[in-house]
């Protein structure tokens, strides 16, 4: 029976990172996936969605070119060859997959269904093997609500959206989280009539309310209908159209479209692993792990979407490094630290966040201050005509510690690195302001926002008082 130091179940971003880390530490590694490496992020999520968003942004820029003096009027729906768009998306996936091959070098890679027989014994395609440690990184899949008539009516998820060979003339999207709003804007810019139907009272409900409001305003300005407070209760057909029936208050309302796209959330992939045989506890939210990413069975760890929590590729990669080291070097275990977790919704403009919202900060700190700086005050944004949005800083305590940042703006996600680094190392607003930023860049906005926060601070007030006192003596 073959024996491994660590077996990694799942070849997505988290599993690939874990495999590379484990191999770099000298472990004998087995990496198993059902059919191919790359996971949801590469094949159905981050990579294809951002490729589609890029195509849609180019289409939008073509419509806006006349005001820059570049060409005559462009039709509202310029010529679209969906087959070529699909080919472009698949070519990007292929190129990224090629780059990711380095992550599995020196690692035994197998495909098939792997299941536990005990905490250290597993079976794969009828073969039994032994593993000192196991790391579960099987990810998640789109949640499909149990709604009357949905299966008969038909629908698609993000797993289907990037294989379309024809653009649906009208599209009903259920869910207004990141997947729903990103794909909704992209398809609208390509020419679909998009309606987003959302259960909560606002889109992007995990974001700061100002962020949700700003993104919703942009989407509506581009012709997207947003219906909130609407619970999906039934699906049906009316001729060639698919119909969603939603309950809004006490009323039922029908929405008709050519296609339905489901984006209400994710569900962990735990089926078929026989976790009970290994003593691993889980529920509908995923596998239960402690601060070391260890499951209820000490030699088995879980990371990424399958363990619930933050469902982001970059968090799974972060967890991978910690879980592998904890498994292989058990005498020097490290806990995960989620104090500074950045994330971005890739609408146009982007919605970027790190740290606490104002409401969350007020529950944790006695003194909280909010500073909001307009994106239009960033000179580079003016030069590109991309002035929608803002930077919102959440400051706590007498020292104005930066505990949260929320942004809406062109390339806002690119600013998260500096803010995350500052928060992780407890840098002050003064540190940010006194760091020279290249001009004119969007990044200058962070420096400007920090300066605006300083000018409104008690420290600035004290300094003004001191300077006035000194000047009065000199007069």
pLDDT digits (tens, 9 = 90+) for 118-156: 999 999 999 999 999 999 999 999 999 999 999 999 999
- List beta partners, residue 354: 342, 405
Among 216, 237, 264, which residue terminates a domain?
A: 264
Is there a single domain that holds both residue 260 and residue 273?
no
Peptide bond before 349: cis, by omega within 30 degrees of 0? yes
Question: What is d(CA 436, CA 353) in angstroms, rounded to the nearest whole number?
Answer: 23
Number of domains in the chain: 3
Q: How many CA atoms does the CB half-sphere of 327 hold within 13 Å?
A: 36
Question: What is d(CA 468, CA 464) in angstroms, rounded to the nearest whole number?
Answer: 6
| Residue 17, in any domain of the structure | yes
Is there a single domain that holds both residue 119 and residue 166?
no
> What pLDDT, on a 0 to 100 scale, did the predictor assign at position 318?
97
| Residue 435, in any domain of the structure | yes
How would you write the pLDDT of the chain (475 residues) with one tens digit per residue? 899 999 999 999 999 999 999 999 999 999 999 999 998 899 999 999 999 999 999 999 888 887 888 876 656 566 789 999 999 999 999 999 999 999 999 999 999 999 999 999 999 999 999 999 999 999 999 999 999 999 999 999 999 999 899 999 999 999 999 999 999 999 999 999 999 999 999 999 999 999 999 999 999 999 999 999 999 999 999 999 999 999 999 999 999 999 999 999 999 999 999 999 999 999 999 999 999 999 999 999 999 999 999 999 999 999 999 999 999 998 889 999 999 999 999 999 999 999 999 999 999 999 999 999 999 999 999 999 999 999 999 999 888 899 999 999 999 999 999 999 999 999 888 889 899 999 999 999 999 999 999 888 888 888 888 888 888 887 6
Is there a single domain that holds both residue 97 and residue 78?
yes
Is there a single domain that holds both residue 29 and residue 17?
yes
Is there a single domain that holds both residue 86 and residue 180?
no
Is there a single domain that holds both residue 168 and residue 66?
no
What distances in angstroms separate CA 120 from CA 109, 129, 294, one per listed residue?
19, 8, 15
The H or E element that residue 19 is part of is helix 13-24
> What pLDDT, on a 0 to 100 scale, did the predictor assign at position 464?
85
Is there a single domain that holds both residue 6 and residue 137?
yes
| Residue 467, in any domain of the structure | no
Is there a single domain that holds both residue 260 and residue 274?
no
Residues 327/4, Cβ–Cβ less than 8 Å: no
Question: What is d(CA 263, CA 70) in angstroms, rounded to the nearest whole number?
Answer: 38
Tokens of 277: 């045989």
Question: What is d(CA 333, CA 131) in angstroms, rounded to the nearest whole number?
Answer: 20
| Residue 469, in any domain of the structure | no
Residue 41, helix vs strand vs coil: helix
Residues 394/355, Cβ–Cβ less than 8 Å: yes
In the block, residue with structure tokens 């729906």? 77
Is there a single domain that holds both residue 135 and residue 181?
no
| Residue 472, in any domain of the structure | no
| Residue 432, in any domain of the structure | yes
Cα angle vertex 312, ends 183, 371, to 5°?
85
Q: What is the DSSP code (8-state) at residue 457? A: S
Is there a single domain that holds both residue 295 and residue 225?
no
Among 305, 332, 359, which residue terminates a domain?
A: 332
What distances in angstroms separate CA 233 from CA 147, 174, 199, 249, 267, one per listed residue?
6, 11, 11, 13, 20
Question: What is d(CA 237, CA 293) in angstroms, rounded to the nearest whole number?
Answer: 46
B/e letters for 62-95, b = 16+ CB within 10 Å, e = fewer, are eeeeeeeeeeeeeeeeeeeeeeebbebbeebbee
Find the domain containing 173 and state its range: 150-264
Tokens of 144: 């499909």
Among 264, 280, 300, which residue terminates a domain?
A: 264
> What pLDDT, on a 0 to 100 scale, did the predictor assign at position 468?
86
- The CATH number given to whatever domain includes residue 240 is 3.50.50.60
- The CATH number given to whatever domain includes residue 420 is 3.30.390.30
Is there a single domain that holds both residue 64 and residue 13?
yes
Question: What is d(CA 446, CA 452) in angstroms, rounded to the nearest whole number?
Answer: 10
What distances in angstroms separate CA 335 from CA 293, 322, 341, one per listed residue?
8, 8, 15
**How many angstroms from the chain centroid is the CA of residue 139?**
14
Residue 201, helix vs strand vs coil: coil
| Residue 468, in any domain of the structure | no
Residues 348/60, Cβ–Cβ less than 8 Å: yes
What distances in angstroms separate CA 75 from CA 56, 68, 369, one per listed residue?
14, 16, 47
Dihedral angle, C-alpha 298, 299, 305, 311, nearest 10 °: 70
Q: Rounded to 5 degrees, what are φ and ψ at 250?
A: -100, 0
Is there a single domain that holds both residue 114 and residue 154?
no
**How many angstroms from the chain centroid is the CA of residue 253?**
31
| Residue 474, in any domain of the structure | no
């Amino acid at each position: 029976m073959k024996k491994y130091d660590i077996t990694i179940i799942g070849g997505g971003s988290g599993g690939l990172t874990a495999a590379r880390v484990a191999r770099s530490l000298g472990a004998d590694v087995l990496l198993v996936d059902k059919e191919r490496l790359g996971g949801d992020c590469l094949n159905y999520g981050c990579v294809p969605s951002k490729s589609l968003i890029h195509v849609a942004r180019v289409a939008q820029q073509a419509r806006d070119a006349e005001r820059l003096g570049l060409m005559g009027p462009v039709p509202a729906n310029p010529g679209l060859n969906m087959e070529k768009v699909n080919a472009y998306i698949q070519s990007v996936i292929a190129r990224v997959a090629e780059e990711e091959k380095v992550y599995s070098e020196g690692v035994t890679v197998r495909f098939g269904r792997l299941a536990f027989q005990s905490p250290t014994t597993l079976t794969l395609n009828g073969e039994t093997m032994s593993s000192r440690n196991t790391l579960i990184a099987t990810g998640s899949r789109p949640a499909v609500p149990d709604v009357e008539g949905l299966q008969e009516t038909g629908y698609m998820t993000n797993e289907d959206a990037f294989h379309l060979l024809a653009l649906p003339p009208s599209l009903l999207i259920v869910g207004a989280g990141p997947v729903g709003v990103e794909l909704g804007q992209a398809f609208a810019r390509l020419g679909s009539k998009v309606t987003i139907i959302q259960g909560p009272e606002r889109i992007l409900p995990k974001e700061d309310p100002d962020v949700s409001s700003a993104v919703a305003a942009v989407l509506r300005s581009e012709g997207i209908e947003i219906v909130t407070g609407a619970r999906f209760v039934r699906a049906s057909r009316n001729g060639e159209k698919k119909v969603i029936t939603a309950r809004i208050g006490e009323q039922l309302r029908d929405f008709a479209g050519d296609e339905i796209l489901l984006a209400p959330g994710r569900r962990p992939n735990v089926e078929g692993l026989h976790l009970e045989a290994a003593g691993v506890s889980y529920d509908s939210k995923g596998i239960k792990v402690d601060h070391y990413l260890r499951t209820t069975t000490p030699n088995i760890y879980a990371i990424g979407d399958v363990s619930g929590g933050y469902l982001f590729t970059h968090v799974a990669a972060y967890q991978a490094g910690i879980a592998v080291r904890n498994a292989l070097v058990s005498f020097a275990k490290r806990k995960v630290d989620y104090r500074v977790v950045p994330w971005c919704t890739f609408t146009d403009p982007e919605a970027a966040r790190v740290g606490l919202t104002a409401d969350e900060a007020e529950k944790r700190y006695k003194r909280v201050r909010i500073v909001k700086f307009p994106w239009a005050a960033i000179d580079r944004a003016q030069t590109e005509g991309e002035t929608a949005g803002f930077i919102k800083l959440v400051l706590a305590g007498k020292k104005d510690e930066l505990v949260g940042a929320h942004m809406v703006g062109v390339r806002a996600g690119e600013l998260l690195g500096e803010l995350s680094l500052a928060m992780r190392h407890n840098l002050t607003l003064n540190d940010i302001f006194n760091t020279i930023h290249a001009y004119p860049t969007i990044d200058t906005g962070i420096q400007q926002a920090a300066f605006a926060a300083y000018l409104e601070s008690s420290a600035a007030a004290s300094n003004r008082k001191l300077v006035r006192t000194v000047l009065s003596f000199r007069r």
